[in-house]
Structure 1
Amino acid sequence: MSPNNKTPGVIESLQTEVENFPAPPHFVETAQFGPEIYQQATQNPEEFWAEQARALHWHKPFTQTLDWSNAPFASWFGDGEINLSYNCLDRHVLAGNGDRVAIHWEGEPGDTRTITYHQLLGEVKKAANLLTSLGVTRGDRVAIYLPMIPEAVIAMLAVARIGAIHSVVFGGFSAESLRARIDDAQAKIIITADGGWRKGRVSPLKPAVDEALALATETPLSVEHVLVVQRGENDIAWEEGRDLWWHEEIAQVDDQHTAQGFPAENPLFILYTSGTTGKPKGILHTSGGYLTQASFTHRAVFDLRPETDVYWSTADIGWVTGHSYVVYGPLSNGATQVMYEGTPETPTWSRWWEIVERYGVTIFYTAPTAIRSFMKQGREVALKHDLSTIRLLGTVGEPINPEAWLWYREVIGAGTAPIVDTWWQTETGAIMISPLPGVTATKPGSAQVPIPGISIDVVDDNADHVGRGNGGLLTVTKPWPSMLRGIWGDPERFIATYWRTFGDKYFAGDGARLDADGDIWLMGRVDDVMNVSGHRLSTTEIESSLVSHPSVAEAAVVGAQDEVTGQAVVAFVILKKNQTLIGDSDQASAILTAHVGNHIGAIARPRQVFVVGELPKTRSGKIIRRLLKDVAEGREVGDTSTLADTNIMQLITEKLR
């Protein structure tokens, strides 16, 4: 598209397409769902979702599927009653599957626990009785600030069992961030641990809780008790009457508890995401619709065979992927899954692949950031291990560049395992766009098609469809079961954030493009779109181009102010170990700038390319580009408290000086 022929609001897409891979014959032959599922869902989306909902156990069956009369506040299966804990546990035990392994858990130091559905149900019943004894009732909020240990799953299911609301806070958040979430949700109880293992040492969780509760804020403290799981065995402060040991309290309660049904729209959880105003947004999800879509997508997208599969999502419990595809999706489907406490490089970069080999993992779901980290180490790290049990791979969290996609398929999937590249958000609750492995011919780097029952469009600023070959704004055009029901305590912010742009369409905040086949390619957040000489360019596409160079392991791109072009492309790259094609930093800048120019076009060539040892990332692996933008524009670096390693920005800044 020439500069003189641009449509307002259209994000330019300059990359060429890559080859696709047909669904493997054995997946086609045995797939649980065929192409006809799309037709069924398109003809009557509400009946399609009602059919998926009926696969769950309802204490009181629903008669109404969707009420959209108070848009954008949806009600799904509103007159039905359901209990999510019962659906994840009791019904599997009653069906005779109590001895099936629910969780193979491995701690970072190497300790392990194998928990069956029968055992997990017993623990959840006791935890439900414990919370009830502490005064937690339906609608109360319980904050959970735990490492990746079984008690995190037990706590979430116990809260759901009694109709309360959990607010899981990622264990890497600071005391200030924790207190802000406690205050906003008015949490009655906090469940934490004395510590959790990470990178060979115990991270202090209970001390962070103590610090958070001691902070002076405008909001009176709502917390009555702190339940502490003994994990790290380190010395901690103790406030008598408030602080209680989980293991001591749980030993005193009964293991009998009858789950009752709650209305389908009973709130299930609040999960906080970053907001542009600086105040976190409490994304609210309810019960029946959320579980319907989480359960269906886990079954369909991953072609789940609960009798034989061993599934592993590497997501932390503190993020929405941990909610939907570690807890509610897998357990509602009776799956056997792996949980791991620590980091992929502890004690060596072989750790994940040792776990895959040890438990015979068949379905593996992780983030592109992790894949690129393994690319940097070299394929020999993974290939030392027997990964032959893997039959399906998945990615989540950000767009995956084709180079990483192809490496993932060839090295981890032995060149045969299909990859489901999934797009969804905290707000959507469950997967919205993804190939189906027995149906879709997959394309490296493309999330491809909406799942059955979901309606997606890519539009320009005027809400007009952009057409094939163009980029624009990703929208959801019809309500879906697992959609957020609001922002906790702030309905106006909910409307303004997600619905004001296009009125009757949910605006996701992401850019996307449609290729010649109409398949969807995610282009990252719209606020990561640069305007270079009047061209709106996606940082994701330029990063993907950089990583396609054989010497580059990872890249981050930002738009920096430029007197001539308005914004200029500035790139930060990590080179692969033992690469020989690029010499010093000056040579790297010239080679990679030319590479992007050849791959995408001259308009996308970086003004500068900096070779760095690491990129600023949160503990969940997301790159914080605003900090790189500070460096690129010569400003003081902003708040680094959410970084996994707060020294990274100092090292980058010193190197660039």
Structure 2
Amino acid sequence: MDDRDTLGALISAPLLPLRPEQRSERYTAEIAHARALHDADPDDYWAWVAEQHRWLRPYDTVRTGELGDFRYFDGGLINVADNCVDRWAESTPDRRAVVWEGEPGDTRTLTYAELADEVSRLGAGLTALGVGKGDVVAIYMPNLVEAFTAIHACNRIGAIYTVLFSGFGRDAVASRLASARASVVVVADAIYRRGKPVPLLETLRAARSDAPTLRHTVVVDRTGTGVELTGDETSYAELVDAHPEGSEVVPLDPNEPAFLIFTSGTESRPKGVVHSVGGFLLGTWANAHWQAALTDDDVYWVAADVGWLTFPIQAVIGGLANGATIACYEGALDTPGPSRFYDVCERHGITKVLCAPTVLRMLRKFGDDLAAEHPLPALELITVQGEPLDGETFTWATQTLGVPVVNAYGQTETGSTWTYPVAGVDDLKAGSAGTTLPGHAYAVLDDEGRPVPAGVKGNLVMTRPFPTLARTVWDDHDRYLSTYFSRFPGNYATNDEAVVDADGHLWVLGRADDVINVAAHRLSTMEIEAVVGSHPRVVEAAVVGIPDETKGTVPVAFVTVSAGSADGVPDEVKKLVGDTIGGIARPDRVIVTGAMPKTRTGKIMRRLMREVLLHGEARSDTSALEDPSSLEVVAAAVREPA
């Protein structure tokens, strides 16, 4: 079966109508109104979204400018924490805002009134530490209540926050703190992962010497062990307790930077993508609104890591902006046993879940019998994003768990998912990302920038601005312009491949560059290669991503080594990557090879190496290969026992 046949089989899935009891009259009427506004003028739709929020000063103009240089809601003033926390604390003070569970089984619940109080106190505490509008605060912790309060304390006082993935190692933390010019970091002493504490404060202390702008560390005592603080470290609890007076809401221009998030590109140097105050707030409100069809009675579990932008989009910002009750879980979903996902759903009455397809693949692997033991009668919806959803997993989840599965697509740079079937309204297709949400527009182009017809694979681009689209790259606007707007002028290049089927449904096929998704965490193969290549015995390194039943994609490293035995190198490389970047980036396999396939200009042909790994041979064009015998060397290395 050639590529066209495979593509045709993929996108030929039939429409699967929702059952009558799965449809929402409210959302059907609302999305019809929203789509009518979009059809008249997409800016009319965004004006309607703006009406759903509280402005501290009305805006003058919905949008000015075009892709690469645009602004939304000029003249207005707004505050994210005011919209996500304060206004709900005023209208529904006793509604649960956050329902949290730790991996050891401890729990904590905050109402909107309690959340507002802690956010205001922490904002005052950060101000007392010298944090002001525009200063950067790093948040290095897992899924804790304090992640919510720290993010919104920054929003409240106008500080810029950046969330660091709790799986990052010393070097990854240090480089991001230095690049962000962070002045304060809020960190948990440790996290619980697979039954044991993993130290974060220890890692941060090791990184401290390479973060010259860092002035203060605020420590959350997650383990309750009474961690001994040193130097410029401050207790989170004591800081909050010391400021009962709270802090004032700072009115902000909607186009000011709210936060930056580091995302790996095809270069080894991570990019600090910058999102705006008002654009991110309004866009993520709409995102959570349409994707989960939230109601006052829902308990919405965003089963994602706070270091993945999905968590701020759907939980911390978008979810709370809708006044929702957000469930949050700290640890591994298979700890202490495979029933943990079901246990969390049962214990907290979860009605809707957002997760990566990896989670559904894991549940499928655990089997139908376990699912049958946990029928989850309260569950109404599962929505997934972060990586392509295969049809088999979609079918298993809809049939076995008995709920619709909404498959959504977006990127760190787009700041939200922008194409999916609206929950409670649109019919589904196994594996498709549905149709475009109001306020967004896209095209699928060939390599010369010409639109391709339905059924033909091409490059996915966005053709007009929208509020959640990243505004720049931190300290490097030229990189922003060249990375996203140079290849297809006048369009935003997603660097993903996609195809549109005959029904207008979008199918996103995966990365067109060297970025891979491991369990919904976006990783640059170049960043991993830089670490692999730092091993003293490694001469050359190439990292590729291959499909994995559970994680979606896993990295595999090919290395050539210096003279002598290669014994021990694979294990040492795996440990080096895990210690430096984090366990999520650790290669699934390290293959020692005597040669690497290269072009005549010396570029390693990773595409061919991946094909050898998957199929035992190269299946695509080898005309640029300088030495065909190098493929035989690679194939022999792949066949060696792991």
TM range (shorter): 0.7 to 0.9
How far has the Cα of 1:624 moved from its partner? 3.4
How far has the Cα of 1:359 moved from its partner? 1.3
**Paired residue secondary structure (1:640):** helix
Identity rate, percent: 32
How far has the Cα of 1:303 moved from its partner? 1.0
Distance 1:29 1:153 in 2: 30
**Counterparts in 2 of 1:528 and 1:248: CA distance versus 1, 3 Å:** closer
1:404 aligns with 2:341: no
Q: What corresponds to 1:600 in structure 2?
A: none
Q: What corresponds to 1:52 in structure 2?
A: 49
Q: What corresponds to 2:450 in structure 1?
A: 464
How far has the Cα of 1:325 moved from its partner? 0.8
Does the CA-based 8 Å contact 1:498-1:506 persist in structure 2? yes
Q: Which amino acid aligns with 2:478?
A: E
Q: What corresponds to 2:199 in structure 1?
A: 204
Distance 1:100 1:371 in 2: 30
Q: How does 1:536-575 map to 2 (within 5 A)?
A: none
**Aligned match for 1:455, one of 421, 441, 449:** 441
1:336-368 Cα deviation digits (max 9, x unpaired): 111001010110111111111111111111111
1:480-526 Cα deviation digits (max 9, x unpaired): 01110010000010011100011100000110011122211110001
Q: Which amino acid aligns with 1:126?
A: R
Distance 2:559 2:547 in 1: 13
Does the CA-based 8 Å contact 1:23-1:437 persist in structure 2? no
Does the CA-based 8 Å contact 1:123-1:255 persist in structure 2? no
Does the CA-based 8 Å contact 1:13-1:470 persist in structure 2? no
How far has the Cα of 1:170 moved from its partner? 0.5
**Aligned match for 1:75, one of 71, 76, 87:** 71
1:423 aligns with 2:360: no
Does the CA-based 8 Å contact 1:317-1:326 persist in structure 2? no
User: Unmatched 5+ residue regions in structure 1?
Assistant: 531-538, 540-568, 575-614, 616-620
**Aligned match for 2:14, one of 14, 19, 38:** 19
Q: What corresponds to 1:484 in structure 2?
A: 470
Distance 2:483 2:586 in 1: 30
1:364 aligns with 2:353: yes
How far has the Cα of 1:409 moved from its partner? 1.0
Q: How does 1:124-163 map to 2 (within 5 A)?
A: 124-163=119-158
Q: What corresponds to 1:271 in structure 2?
A: 261
**Paired residue secondary structure (2:583):** coil
Q: What corresponds to 2:170 in structure 1?
A: 175
**Counterparts in 2 of 1:477 and 1:646: CA distance versus 1, 3 Å:** closer
Q: Which amino acid aligns with 1:148?
A: N
**Paired residue secondary structure (1:393):** strand
Does the CA-based 8 Å contact 1:499-1:506 persist in structure 2? yes
Does the CA-based 8 Å contact 2:122-2:246 persist in structure 1? no
How far has the Cα of 1:382 moved from its partner? 2.4
Distance 1:93 1:489 in 2: 37
Distance 1:234 1:622 in 2: 37
**Paired residue secondary structure (1:656):** coil
Distance 2:547 2:309 in 1: 28
1:191 aligns with 2:182: no
**Paired residue secondary structure (1:454):** coil
1:68-106 Cα deviation digits (max 9, x unpaired): 16x4122111211001001011111222x0000011110
**Counterparts in 2 of 1:105 and 1:468: CA distance versus 1, 3 Å:** same
How far has the Cα of 1:38 moved from its partner? 2.1
**Counterparts in 2 of 1:264 and 1:34: CA distance versus 1, 3 Å:** closer
Distance 2:61 2:515 in 1: 42
Distance 2:280 2:289 in 1: 14
TM-score w.r.t. the length of structure 2 is: 0.82
Does the CA-based 8 Å contact 1:35-1:439 persist in structure 2? no
Does the CA-based 8 Å contact 2:559-2:590 persist in structure 1? no
**Aligned match for 2:208, one of 206, 210, 213:** 213
Distance 1:17 1:501 in 2: 31
Does the CA-based 8 Å contact 1:357-1:386 persist in structure 2? no
How far has the Cα of 1:322 moved from its partner? 1.1
Distance 1:11 1:287 in 2: 43
Q: What corresponds to 1:222 in structure 2?
A: 213
**Paired residue secondary structure (2:14):** coil
1:520 aligns with 2:520: no
1:323 aligns with 2:312: yes
Q: How does 1:374-389 map to 2 (within 5 A)?
A: 374-389=363-378
**Aligned match for 1:283, one of 262, 273, 281:** 273
Distance 2:83 2:548 in 1: 46
1:396-450 Cα deviation digits (max 9, x unpaired): 10010000001111122x2xx2221110011011111111133321000000211
Distance 1:81 1:411 in 2: 47
Q: What corresponds to 2:283 in structure 1?
A: 293
Distance 1:481 1:380 in 2: 45
Q: Which amino acid aligns with 1:392?
A: L
Q: What corresponds to 1:39 in structure 2?
A: 36
Does the CA-based 8 Å contact 1:282-1:488 persist in structure 2? yes
Does the CA-based 8 Å contact 2:385-2:408 persist in structure 1? yes
The two structures, once aligned, show a CA RMSD in angstroms of: 2.9
Distance 2:476 2:585 in 1: 33
Distance 1:334 1:221 in 2: 39
**Aligned match for 2:248, one of 251, 258, 265:** 258
Q: What corresponds to 2:429 in structure 1?
A: 443
TM-score w.r.t. the length of structure 1 is: 0.80
Q: What corresponds to 1:649 in structure 2?
A: 589
Q: Which amino acid aligns with 1:366?
A: C
**Counterparts in 2 of 1:393 and 1:205: CA distance versus 1, 3 Å:** same
Q: Which amino acid aligns with 1:424?
A: G
1:368-408 Cα deviation digits (max 9, x unpaired): 11111111111222221241111111001001000000111
**Paired residue secondary structure (2:177):** helix
1:119-151 Cα deviation digits (max 9, x unpaired): 000000110000000000000000110121100
Does the CA-based 8 Å contact 2:90-2:113 persist in structure 1? no
Q: Which moved more, 1:115-124 or 1:454-463?
A: 454-463
How far has the Cα of 1:629 moved from its partner? 6.5
Q: How does 1:590-629 map to 2 (within 5 A)?
A: 621=551, 623-625=553-555, 627=556
Q: What corresponds to 1:164 in structure 2?
A: 159
